[in-house]
């Protein structure tokens, strides 16, 4: 049986289940050790799609995670297996000659995996080898990679990033490559952008790599600067409710909103008199004012100087003829398409401010809770004042979430199901311990994040049950937290 060579550092049931199932899988050569890595999904509490515009984001690593085990293979082929892929209609086993991957740049690898829809899922795993080869010159050789994931796909909780980060960590473990968590996350983002073909920001991979259990990762996406963890106050809980509506970052809505935001930034740069230069097919803007990020435009600047000068929408051909292109390297402006511009531009400007306020309120709430531990008689009045102040902060936190949700919808990234879940949370309200809710990740369905008072699980369950009765969709409750890939480390398994 397969057993860990060293003691487990974390008590994680999914890891124990994975190891227990290895014997039946009969996938690895029992004569050689296996390297296991794990990375969690994430719940996007605040920030979401504003990540690609440089916003601060607040992300919670979930209990649900992806696990990848890797082993060198003397055969010159990369073999990837996934039980979940088979259940979703893909091939259980994908085998690619190592020489074929070694001959690929990012575009070639993307074409290779896209050629057969039933093997496309393997890009999330084997893409790690492509990224290491292209960016670090790593020689590709045979490898076996076994994937198991409990992160629900298509729900906006970063199942893809969890897989990418777990795969990259396992492959690096096999090859003896040391990457920092930030380096690993940025490389995984390149895999998703350039091999998988999904134009995501970096927050998902950073959370999967650098997250800590029961702690929010505060990440300034310029491009990926952790600004310190935020411990969730003991007086609150964060939940996710699955709307049952599938979400896809690679979908047209997400991509068009992203293009619209970069069109908006290009127009603002022109209005501000910044110098733009096209080098090859990449646009460069000399921007010491906002450093290339819409999030650095303040709401007051936007309202006073730019809002009414940015068009509501613009046809791609007209934009290209006037401005030449955008600074985004992972999307293209389609000439025949009409893009919404003003709202996708405004969203990250305001979202960055909302997230900054949210983080400050959370930290002040933690201070209030800590102070509230004194219960002697002479402090009762102070305790009442603190309790009132804590309640006010909870109400403000909830309102910021509702504002974020409304802004998603204004961008065209809402969905009937997620809107209804938010309405149900609002209707239940603070008297049932529910303070705020919002759509998460790339929007257009998926999971709704809920801010609740500690001990309000029953109220969250009632919301989910009512939604399920109304829509017929299974409203899975998502909760709990676990360490990111770097905190988990790698685990060496041997057969005895």
> What separation in angstroms does the CA of 5 have from each of 9, 24, 177, 182?
12, 20, 20, 27
> What separation in angstroms does the CA of 54 have from each of 14, 97, 222, 436?
34, 39, 5, 24
CA angle 231, 465, 87 (to 5 degrees): 80
Annotation marks residue 51 as catalytic = no
Closest Cα partner for 115 from 139, 145, 91, 92? Answer: 91
Closest Cα partner for 130 from 74, 205, 78, 69? Answer: 78
Q: What is the DSSP string of 197-263?
A: -----SHHHHHHHH--TTEEEEEETTTTEEEEEEEPPTTEEEEEEE-S----TTSHHHHHHHHHHHH
User: Of 73, 204, 242, 253, which residue is the catalytic one?
Assistant: 204
CA gap 169, 482 in Å, rounded: 17
CA angle 436, 442, 446 (to 5 degrees): 65
CA gap 402, 423 in Å, rounded: 10
CA angle 449, 298, 337 (to 5 degrees): 70
CA gap 326, 51 in Å, rounded: 17
Q: What is the DSSP string of 136-171?
A: H-PPP--EEEEEEE-SPTTSSS-HHHHHHHHHHHHH
| Cis peptide bond upstream of 223, omega within 30 | yes
Question: CB of 52 within 8 A of CB of 221?
Answer: yes
Rounded (to 5) percent helix, strand, coil in the chain: 50, 20, 30
CA gap 259, 249 in Å, rounded: 13
Q: Please state the length of the chain.
A: 496
Burial of 214 (0-12, 13-18, 19+ CB in 10 A): middle
Q: Which residues are catalytic?
A: 204
């Amino acid at each position: 049986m397969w057993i860990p060579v060293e003691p487990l550092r974390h008590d994680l049931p999914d890891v124990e289940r994975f190891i227990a199932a290895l014997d039946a899988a009969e996938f690895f050569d029992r004569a050689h050790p296996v390297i296991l890595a794990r990375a969690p999904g994430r719940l996007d509490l605040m920030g979401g799609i504003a990540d690609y515009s440089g916003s601060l984001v607040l992300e919670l690593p979930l209990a649900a995670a992806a696990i990848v085990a890797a082993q060198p293979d003397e055969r010159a082929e990369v073999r990837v297996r996934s039980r979940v892929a088979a259940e979703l209609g893909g091939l259980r086993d994908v085998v690619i000659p190592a020489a074929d991957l070694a001959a690929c740049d990012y575009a070639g690898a993307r074409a290779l995996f896209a050629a057969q829809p039933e093997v496309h899922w393997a890009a999330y795993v084997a893409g790690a080898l492509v990224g290491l080869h292209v960016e670090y010159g790593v020689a590709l050789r045979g490898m076996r990679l076994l994937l198991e994931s409990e992160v629900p796909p298509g729900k906006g909780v970063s199942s893809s990033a969890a897989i990418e980060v777990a795969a990259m960590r396992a492959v690096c473990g096999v090859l003896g490559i040391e990457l920092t968590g930030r380096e690993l996350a940025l490389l995984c983002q390149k895999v998703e952008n350039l091999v998988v073909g999904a134009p995501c920001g970096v927050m998902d991979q950073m959370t999967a790599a650098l997250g800590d259990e029961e702690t929010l990762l505060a990440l300034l996406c310029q491009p990926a600067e952790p600004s310190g963890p935020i411990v969730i106050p003991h007086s609150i809980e964060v939940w996710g409710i699955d709307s049952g509506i599938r979400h896809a970052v690679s979908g047209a809505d997400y991509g068009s909103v992203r293009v619209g935001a970069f069109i908006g930034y290009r127009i603002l740069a022109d209005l501000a008199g910044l110098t733009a230069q096209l080098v090859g097919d990449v646009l460069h803007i000399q921007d010491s004012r906002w450093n290339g990020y819409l999030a650095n435009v303040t709401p007051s600047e936007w309202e006073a100087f730019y809002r009414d000068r940015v068009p509501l929408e613009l046809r791609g051909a007209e934009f290209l003829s006037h401005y030449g292109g955008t600074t985004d390297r992972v999307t293209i402006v389609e000439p025949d398409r009409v893009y919404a511009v003003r709202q996708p531009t405004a969203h990250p400007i305001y979202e960055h401010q909302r997230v900054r306020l949210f983080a400050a309120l959370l930290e002040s709430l933690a201070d209030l809770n800590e102070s509230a531990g004194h219960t002697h008689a002479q402090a009762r009045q102070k305790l009442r004042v603190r309790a009132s102040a804590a309640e006010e902060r909870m109400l403000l936190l909830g309102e910021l979430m509702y504002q974020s949700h409304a802004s998603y919808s204004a961008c065209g990234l809402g969905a009937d199901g997620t809107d209804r879940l938010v309405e149900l949370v609002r209707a239940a309200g603070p008297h049932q311990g529910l303070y705020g809710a919002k759509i998460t990740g790339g929007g257009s369905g998926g999971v709704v994040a809920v801010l609740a008072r500690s001990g309000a699980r029953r109220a969250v369950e009632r919301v989910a049950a009512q939604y399920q009765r109304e829509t017929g969709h299974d409203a899975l409750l998502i909760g709990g937290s676990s360490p990111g890939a770097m905190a988990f480390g790698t685990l060496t398994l041997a057969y005895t």
